[in-house]
Structure 1
């Protein structure tokens, strides 16, 4: 029979886990920056550094949004993507190519495209939240179900519009639908980093409150927490994080599901003070390390989001199979 660890021993173990995870992530970052450089180092480091900065911003946004969404829904197999955010993004890009043409869309001001994508996603979330929320706990699950339905509607509309697009322009559209870190605008990257940083600081200041909310609505209310108000704010934060990260690089389905659940598994806790940094480090490790392996080891130019989606889908099915047994 294994000995029961005391609270200080568990904290020490989690701290060591984060340190090791940080070291592995730093090694992956160093490999991404240096492996395979053949030309001028200044140019290579500048280009890869920009891609790495985008990966770091997206990693934090994805980790925060997924962990927070699972906190308010009290379900570890749900992610913000299930609300239909990524499918709405795909619909917006498809409609843009259909109405304006691929050449016009490609030459448009990146700041304008970023603003349109962000406003569309945040507005969708705001309308969805405000139209559904009342004072019952069940509303969170109604919200998720409606998100699934709307996601299906968005997919159907996307398929309809894509059939009307010229085949040559459809090829250009495909490049817009997969997450890419190679052509990130530097100004938009800085803006997104500021937004994600401000949100992350705000979330960190309310970690004890989030730990209480994670215990469930009845327990949180019994402890004096305004559960509905907290849930409203958290869902708005999730919408902002998903919107800015998706508008910056495109959708990365299942990445949040992977890192959130793996962080809890490695750290052996649901407390946000440990899970949030652990999930962020794992997300950056997956992006930087995965891109390095994909490009330098396998010699492929495929989008990393395709691989993440495949692995994440398998993990999602595994979680669905295991969930009733836990």
Structure 2
């Protein structure tokens, strides 16, 4: 080997190639989830799995996209939209219904009506919070995050207090709703969520370059001709919509977005949203669909997937905090 070629750095894969490889892996995981262990009854089994697959893909894509966008406008890689209190509000609503009425009313309500009311309530909460802070002249994003964290703590405290007063038999029903579940998803709700996520994705794709500028910060974005306040408000509204519909569909997932967003930035090899967003979405599909496949087909356990995801996501959050603290001390 000539000496001049021996010192050349190894060529890195292009970002588009990385996305393509991740997409192939995601398709392989999806095919395995649909076709494995059909035992000759594919015509019957596969359609039953399709609904769950669509729910997994939609929720993964929505959470991944909302987390990346939220981190873009906040300029912080360890924040997630869950800090705004969406998950806590969802649990509080379920708790109040069971406490004030009964678990039978919660189970007997039309899923479509329940989905619409929960989504609307979370959207109203988020948009009211945005409007109150931004219209008051206090356009400070860290204030918005802190207020959201205060509300999240308040919602969790009220829910925990009411749960102690609920009958144990009804609390068992409520407890099943406190973790995300992909096993009992209404088909009509899946397609309604698909429409919302598709529209949100189309709006995001149109402004990918704007998001690249937003990631530079308020000062550089404004100097480059981007209305930082208006674009940030739009992003937060999209984040609220995506988190609301995904939470109302399957339940709360707190740290999953942080996990896939971190994976996306590590795997993308660039900070451009045209690469990071699809990488995050595909990583989410691999984690959710692959995790469900491993639990059901390989390990044959009935553990809820969201419990495992929250454990891994929580450990990722702690690792990121420790890494950032060490970097600041260095």
Instruction: Report the TM range for the smaller structure's normalisation.
Output: over 0.9
Distance 1:54 1:3 in 2: 46
* SS across alignment from 1:224: coil
Instruction: Specify the alignment match of 1:216 in structure 2.
Output: 217
Contact 1:51 1:184 in 2 (8 A): yes
Instruction: Specify the alignment match of 1:19 in structure 2.
Output: 20
> Once the 2 structures are TM-superposed, how far is the Cα of residue 166 of structure 1 from its aligned partner?
0.8
> Once the 2 structures are TM-superposed, how far is the Cα of residue 4 of structure 1 from its aligned partner?
7.1
Unaligned runs of 5+ in 1: none
1:282 aligns to 2:283 (yes or no):
yes
1:207 aligns to 2:208 (yes or no):
yes
Give per-residue Cα distances to partners, 1:139-171, cap 9 Å, x unaligned.
Answer: 111111111111111111011111111100111
> Once the 2 structures are TM-superposed, how far is the Cα of residue 36 of structure 1 from its aligned partner?
2.7
Distance change in 2, residues 1:2/1:52 (3 Å): farther
Instruction: Specify the alignment match of 2:107 in structure 1.
Output: 106
1:64 aligns to 2:65 (yes or no):
yes
Give the number of the structure whose alpha-carbon radius of gyration is greater: 2
Instruction: Specify the alignment match of 1:293 in structure 2.
Output: 294
Distance 1:207 1:262 in 2: 19
- Give the number of aligned pairs: 321
Distance 2:117 2:82 in 1: 19
Q: Which runs of 4+ in 1 moved over 4 A?
A: 1-5, 134-137
Instruction: Specify the alignment match of 2:3 in structure 1.
Output: none
Distance 1:291 1:191 in 2: 23
> Once the 2 structures are TM-superposed, how far is the Cα of residue 3 of structure 1 from its aligned partner?
5.3
Q: TM-score, normalised by structure 1?
A: 0.94
Give per-residue Cα distances to partners, 1:152-195, cap 9 Å, x unaligned.
Answer: 11111011111111100111111111111111111111111011
Instruction: Specify the alignment match of 1:165 in structure 2.
Output: 166
Distance 1:254 1:282 in 2: 14
Alignment of 1:24-173 (within 5 A): 24-38=25-39, 40-133=41-134, 139-173=140-174
> Once the 2 structures are TM-superposed, how far is the Cα of residue 118 of structure 1 from its aligned partner?
0.3
> Once the 2 structures are TM-superposed, how far is the Cα of residue 40 of structure 1 from its aligned partner?
3.0
> Once the 2 structures are TM-superposed, how far is the Cα of residue 322 of structure 1 from its aligned partner?
1.3
Contact 1:253 1:308 in 2 (8 A): no
Distance change in 2, residues 1:77/1:3 (3 Å): farther
Distance 1:38 1:179 in 2: 29
Distance change in 2, residues 1:217/1:117 (3 Å): same
Distance 1:150 1:3 in 2: 54
Contact 1:67 1:260 in 2 (8 A): yes
1:307 aligns to 2:321 (yes or no):
no
Q: TM-score, normalised by structure 2?
A: 0.93
* SS across alignment from 2:14: helix
> Once the 2 structures are TM-superposed, how far is the Cα of residue 209 of structure 1 from its aligned partner?
0.6
> Once the 2 structures are TM-superposed, how far is the Cα of residue 238 of structure 1 from its aligned partner?
0.3
> Once the 2 structures are TM-superposed, how far is the Cα of residue 58 of structure 1 from its aligned partner?
0.8
Give per-residue Cα distances to partners, 1:87-129, cap 9 Å, x unaligned.
Answer: 1111111111112211121111001100111011101101111
Contact 1:135 1:228 in 2 (8 A): no
* SS across alignment from 2:38: coil
Distance 2:210 2:9 in 1: 27
Distance 2:262 2:53 in 1: 23
> Once the 2 structures are TM-superposed, how far is the Cα of residue 280 of structure 1 from its aligned partner?
0.3
Give per-residue Cα distances to partners, 1:26-71, cap 9 Å, x unaligned.
Answer: 1111111122334732221111110001111111111110010000
Distance 2:63 2:236 in 1: 14
Contact 1:253 1:305 in 2 (8 A): no
> Once the 2 structures are TM-superposed, how far is the Cα of residue 130 of structure 1 from its aligned partner?
1.2
Distance change in 2, residues 1:203/1:166 (3 Å): same
